[in-house]
Amino acid sequence: MICSTTVIRKVKLQTMDTSATYRIEDTPEWMTNILDRVIPFTIHDTAIVRWTEMARAVTDIHQLYHLYLWNLRQLLEGVRFSTNDQIIALRDNGTAESGRIIVNGYVMNVISYGVNLIESLRGFAKHEKQRGFTDAQRFEQVAKDEFDSNILYAIMSGLRNYAQHGQLLVSLYCGEYNCDRACFDLHQLSEPFLIKKRSLIIKKIQFLINQIEAEGSSPARLSLTYCIDSFNLSVHSLYSQFLRIFQTHIEDCAKLVNEKYKCEPRHIAKTPDNVSISILLDEDSTAHLLAGEPDQLISDYRINMQEVESNHTTAKTWLEDTSSHFNQ
């Protein structure tokens, strides 16, 4: 078996979209055969270590993006929106306040997963910057600029903390016939019962209240329809820029790994399904079986870029359409 001086205790299979961990005695036969004949990489093979981390991170990030899209779709399929902020719940949660509860549930999920996605992008950028990729700072600046210059994005991002502390975000107010208009009531949000009153989000909300009331509008409300479209555009804009900034970096890392595979073929084996497998042995005696080749991840990355760019264009169209129904 590989590394006769090392006792392998666990095996972790990492594919392009998931990972699974096995005790050594529970590994499938095909996996045991690979362990017997393939020479593993070690933690000293920095290119392989970096690629393993990068491939996992990039894959997880795009899966998180799809979770965000799924929650956005649940909102759009579960609630019918009008440009005057009238809402109609298309699903029933079995309570007398069906509309209020449903719209809050969906909106809280959209904001939470959107912010989680952006935080993952920033975490990846910080990690790669520490590894020496100086261009990662470009994305950190892009994310900071969006927060500093777009007050709606900053407030929506801050509302994630409200949701995590169990506070409802969306209020209903009365229109001409029914109390079915949905908004963010800034006065209510400026007085949370579980958030520090001096937090940055409170300061931004109070600034917006002062600005709205100075223009003669009262009470100070934000259109739910407009805010969701604006937030969705910000999320897509940031992810789209992230993918462009890191594309060359990820492709360069893939080239290094491909060259290493070509120069050291004893590190590579094929599964019964003809999938390439390499092994990375870590300090905890865990053998990481890396399924797939770098070229496949690069191909997937480019497809992901096309998907995000297309959705980014759609997000712009949605906001432009919504904006056309509002006075400046």
Mean pLDDT for the stretch of residues 222-241: 96
- Return the pLDDT at 64: 97
Crossing angle for the helix pair 224-263 and 136-149, to the nearest 10 degrees: 180
The model's confidence at residue 82, banded by pLDDT at 50, 70 and 90, is confident
For 185-212, write each residue's pLDDT tens digit. Answer: 999 999 888 777 668 889 999 999 999 9
Judge whether 287 and 20 are in contact, CB under 8 Å. Answer: no
Most confident of 18-27, 134-143, 193-202: 134-143
Q: How many CB atoms lie within 10 A of CB 225?
A: 21
- Return the pLDDT at 21: 67
Q: Find where tokens 């894959």 sit.
A: 59
Higher pLDDT, 156 or 49: 156
Could you give the CA distance from residue 27 to residue 279 in angstroms, rounded to a whole number? Answer: 14
- Return the pLDDT at 95: 62
Please state the φ and ψ torsions of residue 193, each to the nearest 5 degrees.
Answer: -95, -5
- Return the pLDDT at 157: 95
In the numeric block, which tokens belong to residue 126? 């910080």
Q: What is the pTM assigned to this prediction?
A: 0.88
Mean pLDDT for the stretch of residues 73-78: 93
Residue 284 clears pLDDT 80, i.e. is over it: no
For 288-304, write each residue's pLDDT tens digit. Answer: 777 778 888 899 999 99
What's the full length of the chain, in residues? 328
Residue 15 clears pLDDT 80, i.e. is over it: no
- Return the pLDDT at 69: 97
In the numeric block, which tokens belong to residue 7? 């006792």
Query: CA quadruple 138, 143, 148, 151: dihedral positive or negative?
Result: positive
Mean pLDDT for the stretch of residues 122-143: 94
- Return the pLDDT at 28: 76
Judge whether 153 and 146 are in contact, CB under 8 Å. Answer: yes
Please state the φ and ψ torsions of residue 181, each to the nearest 5 degrees.
Answer: -95, 130
- Return the pLDDT at 6: 43
SS3 track for the chain:
CCCCCCCCCEEEEECCCCEEEEEHHHCCHHHHHHHHHCCCEECCCHHHHHHHHHHHHHHHHHHHHHHHHHHHHHHHHHEEECCCCEEEECCCCCCCCHHHHHHHHHHHHHHHHHHHHHHHHHHHHHHHHHCCCCCHHHHHHHHHHHHHHCHHHHHHHHHHHHHHCCCCCCEEECCCCCCCEEEEEHHHHCCCCCCCCCCHHHHHHHHHHHHHHHCCCCCCEEEHHHHHHHHHHHHHHHHHHHHHHHHHHHHHHHHHHHHHHHHCHHHCEECCCCCEEEEEECCCCEEEEEECCHHHHHHHHHHHHHHHHHHHHHHHHHHHHHHCCCCC
What is the average pLDDT score of the chain?
86
- What is the maximum span of the chain, computed from C-alpha positions, in angstroms? 79
- Return the pLDDT at 97: 64
Residue 308 clears pLDDT 90, i.e. is over it: yes
